[in-house]
Structure 1
Amino acid sequence: MDLAPKQSETQNSSVLKSTAESRLKNFMNEVTGRALVMMESATHGQHGIAMDLVQEAFISLHKAYADKSTDEWYPLFYTILNNKLQDWRRKEARRSQPFSLFRKVSLDDDDVELQDVVDESTPNPFDFLDQAVTADEIQNAIAELPVRQQQAFMLRAWEGFDTHTTAEIMNCSEGSVKTHYHRAIQGLRTALAHLNPHMGGSSE
């Protein structure tokens, strides 16, 4: 009996698996740092929870989408990560509101869309660094924003996703993304203005 075809299929499968794992390792090395910053801000500095969410998102990505291209992984990963974050936030909300088990838990108080918000160009977060504001100061200011504003800003400004893709990741309308992003930029400018007079605040 000729076993060559089966052996060939096994070898091909092994090569594909190895390639996917290698791609995932490279992808993780590139994305982990930014994803952790995002999750630490969203979980109020709980590094352990942030690590768990990021690791669970990578595991789910590999299980469900190992055959996808690396370019496709970016929005898929952040969609999975957003879903895991929202699940965690719901559990935390229910834990703090024990009588909310049978009613919908509201996670955000800034979901009302602003009308006629211009889809602002994505700023480079390092523009703030050029204005003598440190990375730590930017991260601290981001952490003070509501979670959805954090997500909109970091997905657009740090990851470079457009409004449409960001809306798909955040599972909301493009109008909501524009609103969250607009408010995030305003909030960051206000929070950081006192550190640099070029941003509209006082240097004193």
Structure 2
Amino acid sequence: MQDVTGRALVMMESATQGQHGIAMDLVQEAFISLHKSYADKATDEWYPLFYTILNNKLQDWRRKEARRAQPFSLFKKVSLDDDDVEQLDIVDEQALNPAEFLDQAVTVEEIQAAIAGLPVRQQQAFMLRAWEGFDTQTTAQIMNCTEGSVKTHYHRAIQALRNSLAHMNPYLGGSSE
């Protein structure tokens, strides 16, 4: 399950509009719930269970945010992640070409921004199908919807990403640099 943590965190950061602290809390809460309630289950059942729990935690958080924002909509939300803590840059000794590394970082940022621009259900379908490799049936169970809905969300996500990232595809006239 350790390899899932990073991917789940990226998914939650995208779903919470980059709120790293909240994303970490959701992932941790999902792991705690999995451990408390499903420790006796077979390990091959943990991945779908984890993502189902994580999806439920995300929906709960969204409901709380919607309720919290309504009565005080005139007031600005305060981001809890905007600390004035200086972060240290750690040099990667394996990154030989800084220009190439920067290009890769920009490319990753563009892809992450494109995914973050998708509606939440499309993000979930895309991340669970393309990144986690779940089949349509398992994804539908995790998302608590029909297989047809998963196929629709996934198809729309692919189309939207294809359109928004077309400039990066050298076969469609975009640049590869």
* Range of TM-score over shorter length: 0.7 to 0.9
| 1:98 counterpart SS class | coil
Aligned to 2:148: 175
Equivalent in the alignment of 1:134: 107
Does residue 87 (structure 1) correspond to residue 60 (structure 2)? The answer is yes
Which of 61, 72, 78 aligns to 2:45? It is 72
Q: Are 1:35 and 2:5 an aligned pair?
A: no
Whole-Å separation in 1 of the counterparts to 2:173 and 2:125: 24
SS of equivalent residue, structure 1 residue 91: helix
Task: Find the aligned partners of 2:71 and 2:148 in 1 and give their Cα distance.
Answer: 33
Letter in 2 for 1:161: F
User: Which residue does the alignment assign to 1:163?
Assistant: 136
Indicate the residue corresponding to 2:27 in structure 1.
54
Deviation at 1:195, TM superposition (A): 2.2
1-side partners of 2:132 and 2:114: how far apart?
Answer: 18
TM-score (norm 1): 0.66
* Residue 68 of structure 1: how far off its partner (Å): 1.3
Structure 1 residues 81, 201: CA separation in 2 closer, same or farther (over 3 Å shift)? farther
Query: Scaled by the length of structure 2, what TM-score is found?
Result: 0.76
Q: Which amino acid in structure 2 is aligned with residue 196 of structure 1?
A: N
**Deviation at 1:30?**
1.1
Q: Distance in 2 between matches of 1:58 and 1:146?
A: 25
Choose which of 127, 130, 147 in structure 2 pairs with 1:154: 127
Which of the numbers 159, 162, 167 marks the counterpart of 1:186?
159
Letter in 1 for 2:4: V
Deviations 1:31-71 (A, max 9, x none): 10000000000000000000000000000000001111221
User: What is the rounded CA distance, in whole Å, between the counterparts of 1:71 and 1:141 in structure 2?
Assistant: 31
Name the CA distance, whole Å, in 2 between partners of 1:151 and 1:98: 29
Residue-pair matches, total: 144
| Counterpart-to-counterpart distance in 2, 1:92 and 1:54 | 17
SS in structure 1 of the partner of residue 118 of structure 2: coil
Q: 1:196 offset after TM fit, Å?
A: 2.5
Query: Over residues 68-88 of structure 1, what are the superposed CA-to-partner deviations in whole Å (9 max), with x where a residue is unaligned?
Result: 122110000000000000011
Shift of 1:159: 0.7
Rounded Cα–Cα distance in structure 2 between residues aligned with 1:46 and 1:192: 24
Larger Rg: 1
Residue type at the aligned position of 1:140: A
Counterpart for residue 17 of structure 2: 44
